[in-house]
C-alpha cells in the first residue's frame, strides 16, 4: 500500500492510483486525480459526473453501468471520454473515490 501526500492531505492508494478507502475522499482528491489523469480544467460537467457516481455508489453499493451513467448525467459516452480521457472507469470512478473496477477488464 502506498501513501500519497497532496495539499496537506494523505491518501492510501493502490498501484493503479485508486483510493483504498472511499471515506478518505475529499476535494483535494479531485485535484490530485485531475493532475494524474491529465485533465486540463475542472468543469461543472466533471463535478456532475463525480456527484452522480458518488450518489449512485452510496445508494446502491456499486458503480453504475455505463448506460446508467450516461442516462443520469445526460452525457453521451463520447462526451464522458472527452471529460475523462481514461474513460468512465479508470478516470471518473477514480476521481469519485470509488473502488477499482474488477472483472476481466
Partner 1 sequence: MAFISSGYNPDKPMEDRITDIGPKKFDQFYPPVIAKNKGKWLYHEILEPGVLVHVAEGGDEVYTVRCGGARLMSTGLIREICEIADKHCEGHVRFTTRNNIEFMVDDKSKLDPLKKDLEGRKFAGGSFKFPVGGTGAGITNIVHTQGWIHCHTPATDASGTVKATMDEVFGDFQNMRLPAPLRISMACCLNMCGAVHCSDIAILGYHRKPPMLDHEYLDKLCEIPLAIAACPTGAIKPSKVEVNGEQMKSVAVNNDRCMFCGNCYTMCPSLPLADKEGDGIVLMAGGKVSNRISMPKFSKVVVAFLPNETPRWPTMTDTIKKMIEAYSSDANKYERLGEWAERIGWERFFEKCELPFTHHLIDDFRDPAYYTWRQSTQFKF
Choice between 40 and 74, CB closer to partner 1: 40
Q: Is 7 left (phi over 0), alpha (psi -120 to 50) or beta?
A: left
C-beta of residue 85 within 8 angstroms of C-beta of residue 92:
no
Give the contacts of 52 (CB within 8 A, at least 6 positions apart).
64, 69, 72, 73
- State yes or no: residue 27 binds partner 1 (CB under 8 A): no
- State yes or no: residue 3 binds partner 1 (CB under 8 A): no
- The window from 2-10, 16-24, 43-51, 72-80 that contacts partner 1 (CB under 8 A) reads 16-24
Choice between 58 and 74, CB closer to partner 1: 58
C-beta of residue 70 within 8 angstroms of C-beta of residue 80:
yes
Q: Is 104 a catalytic residue?
A: yes
- State yes or no: residue 103 binds partner 1 (CB under 8 A): yes
Rg of the chain, C-alpha, whole Å: 13
Q: Catalytic positions, please?
A: 104
Residues making contact with partner 1 (CB under 8 A): 20-22, 38, 57, 60-63, 85, 99-100, 102-104
Amino acid at each position: 500500500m502506498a501513501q500519497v501526500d497532496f495539499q496537506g492531505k494523505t491518501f492510501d492508494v493502490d498501484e493503479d492510483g485508486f483510493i483504498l478507502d472511499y471515506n478518505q475522499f475529499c476535494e483535494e482528491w479531485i485535484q490530485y486525480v485531475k493532475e494524474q489523469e491529465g485533465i486540463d480544467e475542472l468543469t461543472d460537467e466533471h463535478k456532475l459526473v463525480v456527484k452522480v457516481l458518488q450518489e449512485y455508489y452510496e445508494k446502491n453499493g456499486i458503480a453504475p453501468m455505463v448506460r446508467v451513467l450516461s442516462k443520469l448525467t445526460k452525457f453521451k459516452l463520447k462526451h464522458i471520454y472527452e471529460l475523462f480521457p481514461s474513460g468512465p472507469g479508470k478516470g471518473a470512478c477514480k476521481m469519485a473515490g470509488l473502488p477499482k473496477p474488477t472483472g476481466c477488464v
